[in-house]
Amino acid sequence: MFPMEKSAPKVPSDRTTRDRLLDAAEHLFGIHGYKGAGMRMLAEEAGVNLGAATYHFGSKDALYIETFLRRFRVMNAERLRLLRESEEQAEGKPLPVARIVDCMIRPLFQSGLKHPSFQLLLARNLFMPPPFLHAVIRQELEPNIKVFQAALLRALPAMPDSLLHLRTMFGMGALLVFSFQMAQMVFERHATFYENVLEEMVRFISAGLQSELPPSPEQWLPFPFPPDSESR
Amino acid sequence: MFPMEKSAPKVPSDRTTRDRLLDAAEHLFGIHGYKGAGMRMLAEEAGVNLGAATYHFGSKDALYIETFLRRFRVMNAERLRLLRESEEQAEGKPLPVARIVDCMIRPLFQSGLKHPSFQLLLARNLFMPPPFLHAVIRQELEPNIKVFQAALLRALPAMPDSLLHLRTMFGMGALLVFSFQMAQMVFERHATFYENVLEEMVRFISAGLQSELPPSPEQWLPFPFPPDSESR
DNA sequence: GGAACATTAATACAAACGTATGACTTATTT
DNA sequence: AAATAAGTCATACGTTTGTATTAATGTTCC
C-alpha cells in the first residue's frame, strides 16, 4: 500500500515523478489555489499518471501540505539564521529596527526571485490557509514570530506588547500582499531592481513600527495570525 | 427567459428571494470563497430553491459580481465623500497625510462593523479576485485611487510618483490583511475598541508614507493593483 | 375571469472532482 | 535466475459541480 513500509534504504528510486509532481503542484496551486487546481490538472502538467499522486502522497491534502512545507521550512530557517548572524555582529547591543525587519523580509524576496510560484502559494496560505493547513502553519511560524518579536521589543523598549503585536501584523500584511504582486511580476519576467524595492519596504515597515506612541492607552484584543478563514 | 424583458414597472415583487440569496452569497462566499461555496449551499442557507439563483442572476459568476458590487460601490462613494468633505474644510490648503489616510480607511472599518461577511469578501477579492472579477474591480477602483493619489501628492510634493505608488500599495496590503482578521473578530463577537485600532492603523500607514526618501534614485516598474491571480 | 406574465419548484444532465483498484512493468534483493 | 518489492498505468466508482428544462403556482391587468 505505502511506498516505503519497510527496508527502503534511502528513497532512491523515483526522484523524478515525485518531484515533478511537487513542482507542478507548487506552480498550479500557487496560481489557482487549492480548490482551483485539480489532480488531473497537476498530473498532466507534471507529465505523470493520475494514480501517481495518490501513490506518492496519499491524498490531495497531503500533497498540498508537503508542497507548502518544502520551501516554507527553509525560508523560515534562513530568517532565523540572518537574525542570529546580525545579533552576533552586534555583540549584545540591541539591533536597529530596520535591521530586524530586513532579516524578516529578505529571505522572502530571495525566495520570490527563485521560486515565484511558491511565493504565490505562500501569500495565499498566510492570508487564507485552507483549514487543514492552519495548524501546520501556526506551528511552523510560531517560534519564528516569538524570536522576532523579542528582538523588536529589545529595540523598542518603550512600546507595549499589544501595540507591537498589532504593528507587526500591519507589517506582515504589507509584506504579504506585496509579495503576491511581486511574484506575478517575476513571473512575467518584468525584471526590476528588486533590491531597491526591498529597501523601500524595509523603510516603510520600520517607519510604521517606530511611529509615535498613541496618546491614549491602547485597548484591543490580540489578532491571531494567520486568521483561519474557512472556520465559519 | 429573463426576468424583466419588457414592461416590468419597478421590480416590485420579490424583495425577499433575491435579497436573501444575496445575503447568503455574501456570507458564504466571504467565508468559503468563490470556489468553496456551491449553489446548493447558497440556496439552502437562503431558504430558497436551487433554480431561484439561476432565475434571478443567470449564473454563479453574475451572482458573485452583484454580491460584491452591492456594498463595494457605496463604500467607495463614502470614501470620496469623506475626502471631499475634508478638502472643503481645509479651504485650499493641502490636507495632512494622516487625514487623507483616515478618509481611505474609515469607511472600511465602518462597513466591517456592520457587514463583517462583506469585509471577508472584500479582502478576498482585492487580494486575489477570480479572473472574471478583475476588470470589474479595476474599473470601480481606478477613479478612487486617482483622487487619493492626487491628494497625497499634494501633501507630499517632494515625493516621486513611483515611490508614492509603491508606498500606497504597501499601505493597501496592511489594510487588506488586517481587515480580513478584523472581520473574523467581529464575527466572533469579540467586541474591541476598534476606534483605537483604526487610529493605530492610520498612524502606521501615515508614518510609512512619510518616511524619509531613499538616498539612491528609485527604479522599478509599477505594480498593478489588484494583481490578477488566475491569469497564468 | 381569463390572458399574460413573474416566480417557485422538482428534476435531469453532462462534466469534473478525489480516490480506489488491479494489472502491468521496472528495480532491487537473495 | 527467481522472487519480492516499487512504481506506473488505464480505468472505474460514487459525489458534487453549475446549469437547463419543464411543470406548477402566484400575481397583475384588461
State pLDDT tens for residues B142-165. Answer: 999 999 999 999 999 999 999 999
| Nucleotides of C strand lying within 7 Å of any protein CB atom | 5-12, 16-22, 27-29
CA B25 – CA B70 distance, rounded (Å): 12
Strand D at less than 7 A from CB of B18: no
CA B202 – CA B183 distance, rounded (Å): 18
Instruction: Say whether pLDDT at A11 is over 50.
Output: no
CA A35 and chain centroid, separation: 20
Task: List CB contacts of B97: < 8 A, sequence separation 6 or more.
Answer: B152, B155, B156, B206, B209, B210
Q: Shortest CA–C1' contact from B56: which nucleotide?
A: C7
Interface test with chain B among A161, A204, A205, A225, by most B beta carbons within 10 Å: A204
CA B204 – CA A205 distance, rounded (Å): 8
Instruction: Say whether pLDDT at B210 is over 70.
Output: yes
Facing B177 at nearest CB: one of A120, A127, A193: A127
Q: At A16, is the pLDDT very low, low, confident or very high (cuts 50, 70, 90)?
A: confident
Strand D at less than 7 A from CB of A134: no
Q: At A232, is the pLDDT very low, low, confident or very high (cuts 50, 70, 90)?
A: very low
Task: List CB contacts of A5: < 8 A, sequence separation 6 or more.
Answer: none
CB pairs under 8 A between A and B: 176
- Top-confidence residue, A222 or B40: B40
Q: Is A11's Cβ below 8 Å from some Cβ in B?
A: no
Cell triple for B104: 481611505
CA A61 – CA A57 distance, rounded (Å): 9
Measured CA A7 to C1' C30 distance, in angstroms: 14
Fold of B14-58: Arc Repressor Mutant, subunit A (1.10.10)
Q: What residues in B contact A182, CB-CB < 8 Å?
A: 223
Q: What residues in B contact A36, CB-CB < 8 Å?
A: 35, 230
Q: Is A215's Cβ below 8 Å from some Cβ in B?
A: no
- Top-confidence residue, B155 or B5: B155
Measured CA B20 to C1' D30 distance, in angstroms: 33
Strand D at less than 7 A from CB of A5: yes
> Which chain A residue's Cα is nearest to B171?
A174
Q: What is the pLDDT of residues A77-100, one digit of tens each?
A: 999 999 999 999 998 889 999 999
Instruction: Say whether pLDDT at A58 is over 80.
Output: yes
Instruction: Say whether pLDDT at A41 is over 80.
Output: yes
Task: List CB contacts of B107: < 8 A, sequence separation 6 or more.
Answer: B75, B76, B78, B79, B82
**May I ask the CATH class of domain A15-58?**
mainly alpha
CA B42 – CA B21 distance, rounded (Å): 7
Closest approach of B180 to chain A, Cα-based (Å):
8
Q: What residues in A contact B197, CB-CB < 8 Å?
A: 166, 220
* Yes or no, beta carbons of A172 and B177 under 8 Å apart: yes
* Yes or no, beta carbons of B205 and A170 under 8 Å apart: yes
CA B70 – CA B64 distance, rounded (Å): 10
Q: Tell me how far CA of residue A49 lies from CA of A18, A25, A32, A98, A112, in angstroms.
A: 11, 14, 21, 49, 29
Average pLDDT, stretch A25-38?
96
Q: At A219, is the pLDDT very low, low, confident or very high (cuts 50, 70, 90)?
A: confident
Q: What is the pLDDT of residue B4?
A: 35
The yes or no reply on domain A71-210 and CATH 1.10.357 is yes
Closest approach of B201 to chain A, Cα-based (Å):
8
Nearest residue to B89 via CA among B99, B79, B98: B99
Sketch the domain layout of chain A as residue ranges.
15-58, 71-210
Question: What angle do the packed helices A194-210 and A97-114 form, to 10 degrees?
Answer: 150
Query: What CATH number was assigned to the domain covering residues B70-209?
Result: 1.10.357.10
Cβ atoms of A97 and A155 within 8 Å: the answer is yes
Q: What is the pLDDT of residue B184?
A: 86
Closest approach of B130 to chain A, Cα-based (Å):
9
CA A45 – CA A28 distance, rounded (Å): 9
Q: At B223, is the pLDDT very low, low, confident or very high (cuts 50, 70, 90)?
A: confident
Q: Is B213's Cβ below 8 Å from some Cβ in A?
A: no
Strand D at less than 7 A from CB of A40: no
Strand D at less than 7 A from CB of B53: yes
Q: What residues in B contact A119, CB-CB < 8 Å?
A: none
Task: List CB contacts of A30: < 8 A, sequence separation 6 or more.
Answer: A116, A117, A118, A119, A120, A121, A124, A183
Tell me which residues of chain A, numbers 146 to 165, contact chain B at a CB-CB cutoff of 8 Å: 163
Task: List CB contacts of B198: < 8 A, sequence separation 6 or more.
Answer: B102, B105, B106, B109
